[in-house]
Amino acid sequence: MAFQILLNFMIAFLWMFLNNDWAASGFIVGYVLGIAVLFGLRRFFDGRLYLGRGWAVIKLAMLLLRELVVSSYVVVKAVLRPKLDIRPAILMYHTELEADWEVAVLITLLCLTPGSVVLEVSRDNRTLYIHAMDIKDAEQFRDNIRNTFERAILEVSRS
């Protein structure tokens, strides 16, 4: 991936040099041309183009923002009710993530969303103990983590 980015920058600077255009617009045209060249040569690279991984990172960030807004709304709504009607729970979650940084990103995402916090991580980094503020169905909560955060992290980390 780093080689692709470096190659794309080299093509952009080569374009600027050949056109004797040292403005930002010349760089942007060269960069877009570099993307087209990389797309044409994509079968010679291992894995996918770096733009795909960048898009996956953007989708993960948008997912985090969405979850922050939705869960913040749910927490504020629960706190402002006259009668506190919540069902807190501590549940065990088995993850499919293998790398330490993948598990760390998942833990960070879970702790950043209001209403949930990771209490403990097993020694093998495969089991998380999560405290959630309001759980109607524990299996649905696990499926939600698996189908949102974990899937997005896998899309970023795996080719």
Mean pLDDT along residues 33-51: 86
Sign of the alpha-carbon torsion through 103, 108, 113, 117 = positive
DSSP element (H, E) containing 120 = strand 116-121
**Owning domain of residue 141:** 50-157
Helix extents (H) in 41-116 = 50-80, 100-112
| Mean pLDDT taken over the chain | 89
What size, in residues, is the chain? 159
| Same-domain status, 63 and 24 | no
pLDDT at 119: 94
| Same-domain status, 70 and 124 | yes
| Same-domain status, 94 and 138 | yes
pTM of the model: 0.73
| Same-domain status, 66 and 27 | no
Q: Between 39 and 47, name the one with better pLDDT.
A: 39
Number of domains in the chain: 2
| Same-domain status, 26 and 93 | no
Q: Give the pairing type, strands 116-121 and 127-132.
A: antiparallel
| Same-domain status, 9 and 66 | no
Mean pLDDT along residues 36-45: 88
Q: What letter represents residue 114's amino acid?
A: P
The 10s digit of each residue's pLDDT in 49-108 is 888 888 888 999 999 898 888 888 888 888 888 888 788 999 999 999 988 999 999 999
